Structure 1
């Protein structure tokens, strides 16, 4: 029911940040040189450098979170295997106790 509201809010947020980015790029057209310690970048606008750094940061965050996701996914699989094994063992013990009770009852 609230999925449409969530989509509307996300759309509004994306449009807002897109508008802020476009406004920032229009208001800051000057070119700068990016000078890192071992590398000197080409002369580009401030907005482009900010967009590139944001994109790079988002990619790094995505990689880091994917490692965490893969670890937790692996852990879930291991725990599911343990659960299945324990459940099978409990079922076997229940069957064994029922069989024992039936054999004792026949005597």
Structure 2
């Protein structure tokens, strides 16, 4: 039920940001050249440089978050193995304890 609402909200956000981007590009047609310390970029519009900056930022954010995600996935696998090993040990100790109680109870 909430899945369709989530999709509608997502679509509204995407359309809103696209409209803001188009409006920004229309209102800022100036051509600039990006001048960094060791590199001078070609002459492009302000909007194109902004879109390029947002795209690079999004790619960097995805890369950083994927590294964190992979690290947490690895930690989950390690902890799952430890849990399984510990659970098997506890089950073995319970079996030993039950057999000892049964053997003591027979005497």
* TM-score over 0.5 (shorter chain): yes
TM range, smaller chain: over 0.9
The equivalences for 1:1-107 within 5 A come to 1-107=1-107
Write the deviation string for residues 14-43 of structure 1: whole angstroms up to 9, x where unpaired: 000001101111111111011000000000
Deviations 1:59-83 (A, max 9, x none): 1111111111111111111111111
TM-score when scaled to structure 1? Answer: 0.95
1:4, distance to aligned residue in structure 2 (A) = 0.8
Question: Secondary structure in 1 aligned to 2:41?
Answer: strand
Structure 2 portions without partners, runs of 5+: none
Task: State the secondary structure of the residue aligned to 1:71.
Answer: helix
TM-score if structure 2 supplies the norm length? 0.95
Unpaired runs of 5+ in structure 1?
Answer: none
RMSD: 0.9
SS of corresponding position for 1:44: strand
